[in-house]
Amino acid sequence: MSATDEYDNETVTAYVDGELEAARRAEIDAAIAKDAALAARVDVQRKLRARLGQAFAGVEREPVPERLLAAARGPEAAPTQSPRGNVVPFPARGTRAPAQPWRAREWLAMAASLLLGVAISWRWLGAGEPVEMQGGALVASNQLATALDTQLASSQPADADVRIGLSFKARGGDFCRSFTLRGAASAGLACRAGDRWRIEALAKSDDASGELRQAATLPPAVLAAIEASIDGDALDAEAEAAAQGAGWKTTR
């Protein structure tokens, strides 16, 4: 008999929205691993959430109209204060500004400094660096590489340092997986390249608590990278397990 009925819809959605307390979340993580019907219900809600987030992700990349910038600066700001023409003056990164989406080239340029930040906070946890440069490309290493190789979203521990989000097949046939690094408050997308995981996107979370609540609330840059490469649907629990069992080999 299925245990699905033990969890009502509000519990399932609260789980997907990252609103459950750790103990309850762990309980459902464990139940999902044993109960395909429950896993499917969770998957439906996760996909809906991811879809809504992705649908509007592009708005954040649009240039902000000058009239809104002028309004935001407030009534006391002199109109001639900053003649910036069409250039959009994004605020300095830091305190409360939302994570800025990065295009491919921009993010590569930023990778070095971000890498340092991720590495420092990660090392603080006592693990090796999660990413490294190899042949001019950024690839996953240590705990992140292991998690990408072996961890299944449907059965991972609630308090895992690396949490896997969506797994999917990219247009070229390679498998890709999104991940969050809890201790580093960062999230990213990695795609299979030979026997390694190439980092396609990596962004700091803008979550004020410094910790990503849910894979579903990925930074816009990561969502955009997913949107740009995903071919069809994300893998369900069964397909994820099958792909993992086959060593994430590219199929075309």
Going 14 to 236 to 102 to 141, the CA torsion angle's sign is positive
Residues 6+ apart with CB under 8 A from 72: none
| Whether the Cβ atoms of residue 218 and residue 165 lie closer than 8 Å to each other | yes
Query: In this chain, which of 30, 77, 137, 242 binds other proteins, going by CB under 8 A?
Result: 77
Q: Is 53 an interacting residue with respect to other proteins (CB under 8 A)?
A: yes
Out of 24, 40, 73, 123, the residue judged to bind other proteins by CB under 8 A? 73
* Listed ranges 40-48, 108-116, 155-163, 170-178: which one lies at the site for other proteins (CB under 8 A): 40-48
Closer by beta carbon to other proteins, 44 or else 246: 44
Choosing from 23, 59, 78, 126, the residue that interacts with other proteins (CB under 8 A) is: 59
Q: Please, what is the minimum distance in Å from the beta carbon of residue 5 to other proteins? A: 17
| Contact string (CB under 8 A) for other proteins, positions 189-208, x = contact | -------------------x
Q: Name which of 100 and 141 has its Cβ closer to other proteins.
A: 100
Of the residues 2, 3, 37, 51, which one makes contact with other proteins according to CB under 8 A: 51
What would the x/- binding string for other proteins be over residues 213 to 242, using CB under 8 A?
A: x--xx--------------xx---------
Helical H segments across the chain, by residue range: 9-16, 22-34, 36-55, 66-73, 104-124, 142-150, 220-229, 237-245
Dist. CA 59–CA 175, nearest whole Å: 27
Q: Report d(CA 141, CA 86) in Å as an integer.
A: 41
Q: How many residues does the chain have?
A: 252
Contacts with 8 (C-beta within 8 Å, 6 or more apart), sequence order: none
Task: Say how far apart CA 48 and CA 16 lie, in whole Å.
Answer: 10
| Site residues for other proteins per CB under 8 A | 9-10, 13-14, 17-19, 44-45, 47-49, 51-56, 58-60, 62, 64-65, 67-69, 71-77, 89, 91, 95-98, 100, 208, 213, 216-217, 232-233
